[in-house]
């Protein structure tokens, strides 16, 4: 059952028939993908299914070979990370890319510092960072001037997410945000992910952990061998069905978008 577009409103980010090859390897085959404002879309799939390639295409790290890239209903071309940021798409990668020797504010504004003439405007940056953290109801940080080195894994994830949200972004893509976290910290980060969506952002969550996925996701998109196996509402499926989608590309009761024989694939 492909999700009904009228029920979800228009997707802010929509990919249609995306193809991407690295040399002879056809990694993404006719992938359709959409993210909706105010919703968490989980992107699931086994290792090598093409999740990372897909988000790197969205983030402008890899150019797409063919297919349509629509943002807010308009066709756009994304040539690099800067283009993606300009549209309002931010990606939080798994390794976070924070500088340990800088504090929270410095990390959040890294590369986009606010200045008055040539002097860094520390007070304004700190004020804005504090506001963003406040809007996300972050309660785990002691001070915005704490060095990132002194933060726990969950706090680092929080800072990385806040950094992505700081720039009035519209789509936030999170790559395995809970992979290295303990139970309590996972809860905090998932709650934060939910709050992002509740504030009207389109959130794409990549995760291997189906418990996490079912806890926060509104929609689930399953990739199988570079093709979209299904895009369903989370409340319409149960965990075993998603596991089947991830491992075999199909499951009973869910209409798969794959051709009947996966092995033949799509001749692109």
Q: Mask: binding to other proteins, 186-225, rule CB under 8 A, as x and -?
A: --x-------------------------------------
> Could you give the count of Cα atoms lying within 13 Å of 154 in the half-sphere of its Cβ?
17
**Choices 47-55, 69-77, 180-188, 226-234; region in contact with other proteins by CB under 8 A:** 180-188
The dihedral sign for the CA sequence 134, 138, 139, 140: negative
CA-nearest of 105, 91, 36, 96 to 62 is 91
Q: Is 178 in the site for other proteins (CB under 8 A)?
A: no
User: Quick one: which of 81, 28, 82, 35 has its CA closest to 59?
Assistant: 81
Could you tell me which residues come within 8 angstroms of residue 89 by beta carbon, excluding any fewer than 6 positions away? 13, 58, 59, 71, 78, 169, 170, 171, 173
Q: 9, 63, 182, 200: which one contacts other proteins (CB under 8 A)?
A: 182
Please report how close the Cβ of residue 202 comes to other proteins at its closest, in angstroms: 22
Distances (CA, A) of 181 to 155, 176, 264: 10, 10, 39
Residue 172 makes contact with other proteins by CB under 8 A: no
Q: Out of 184, 191, 211, 268, name the contact with other proteins by CB under 8 A.
A: 184
**Residue 158 interacts with other proteins (CB under 8 A)?**
no
* CA distances for 16 relative to 32, 45, 172, angstroms: 5, 19, 19
CA atoms within 13 A on the CB side of 38: 5
Contacting range for other proteins; rule: CB under 8 A; set: 23-31, 35-43, 92-100, 209-217: 92-100
Which residues within the stretch 109-128 sit at the binding site for other proteins (CB under 8 A)?
A: 110-113, 115, 118-120, 123-124, 126-127
Task: Report the nearest approach of other proteins to the CB of residue 147 (Å).
Answer: 7
39 contacts 202 by C-beta, under 8 angstroms: yes
CB 19 within 8 A of CB 67: yes
CA distance 47 to 262: 17
* Nearest CB to other proteins, comparing residues 52 and 185: 185
Sign of CA dihedral 136, 140, 143, 145: negative
86 is a site residue for other proteins (CB under 8 A): no
- Whichever of 9 and 182 has its CB closer to other proteins, that residue is 182
Does 154 help bind other proteins (rule: CB under 8 A)? Answer: yes
| By CB under 8 A, residue 142 contacts other proteins | yes
Which residues would be at the binding site for other proteins (CB under 8 A)?
81-82, 93, 95-102, 106, 110-113, 115, 118-120, 123-124, 126-127, 130, 133-134, 137-145, 147, 149-150, 152, 154-155, 182, 184-185, 188
């Amino acid at each position: 059952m492909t999700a009904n577009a009228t029920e979800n409103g228009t997707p802010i980010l929509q990919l249609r028939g995306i193809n991407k090859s690295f040399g002879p390897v056809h990694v993404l085959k006719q992938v359709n993908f959409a993210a909706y404002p105010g919703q968490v879309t989980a992107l699931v799939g086994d290792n090598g299914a093409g999740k990372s390639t897909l988000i790197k295409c969205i983030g402008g790290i890899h150019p797409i070979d063919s297919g349509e890239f629509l943002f807010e209903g308009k066709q756009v071309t994304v040539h690099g990370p800067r283009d993606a940021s300009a549209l309002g798409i931010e990606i939080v990668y798994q390794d976070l890319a924070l500088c340990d020797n800088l504090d929270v504010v410095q990390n959040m504004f890294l590369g986009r510092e606010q200045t008055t003439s040539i002097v860094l405007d520390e007070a304004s940056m700190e004020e804005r960072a504090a506001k963003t953290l406040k809007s996300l109801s972050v309660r785990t940080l002691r001070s915005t001037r704490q060095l990132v080195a002194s933060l726990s894994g969950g706090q680092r994830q929080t800072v990385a997410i806040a950094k992505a949200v700081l720039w009035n972004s519209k789509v936030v893509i999170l790559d395995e945000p809970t992979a290295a976290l303990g139970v309590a910290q996972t809860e905090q980060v998932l709650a934060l992910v939910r709050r992002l969506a509740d504030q009207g952002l389109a959130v794409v969550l990549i995760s291997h952990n189906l418990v996490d996925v079912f806890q926060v996701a509104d929609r689930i998109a399953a990739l199988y061998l570079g093709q979209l196996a299904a895009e369903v509402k989370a409340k319409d499926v149960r965990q075993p069905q998603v596991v089947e989608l991830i491992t075999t590309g199909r499951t009973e009761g869910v209409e798969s978008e794959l051709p009947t024989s996966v092995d033949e694939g799509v001749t692109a």
